[in-house]
């Protein structure tokens, strides 16, 4: 299925948000996710099913000074 990840189209085989994150290489536990504009906690990612056209935002903490 095709989903939009951080404004870029991606083809994924995964059915759940958690599996899609692994498939896309987002393996850090320190990320935040939003699906179609709604925050999804780490604990809920395995329960959230994806559908074609979903919009996923993945944010990682940044360091700076």
* Domain parsing of the chain, residue ranges: 2-59
What is the token pair recorded at 21?
A: 């994150």
- Report the residue count for the chain: 65
| Beta-sheet pairing, 55-59 with 2-5 | parallel
Cβ distance 10 to 62 under 8 Å? no
Kindly report the pTM of this predicted structure.
Answer: 0.90
Cβ distance 61 to 30 under 8 Å? yes
3-state secondary structure of 58: strand
Cβ distance 65 to 36 under 8 Å? no
CATH number, domain 2-59: 3.10.20.30
Per-residue pLDDT tens digits for 4-62: 999 999 999 999 999 999 999 998 889 999 999 999 999 999 999 999 999 999 998 87
């Amino acid at each position: 299925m095709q989903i939009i990840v951080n404004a870029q189209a991606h083809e994924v085989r995964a059915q759940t948000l958690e599996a899609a994150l692994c498939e896309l290489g987002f393996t850090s536990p320190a990320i935040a996710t939003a699906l179609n504009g709604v925050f999804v906690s780490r604990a809920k990612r395995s329960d959230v099913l994806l559908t074609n056209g979903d919009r996923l935002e993945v944010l990682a903490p940044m360091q700076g000074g």
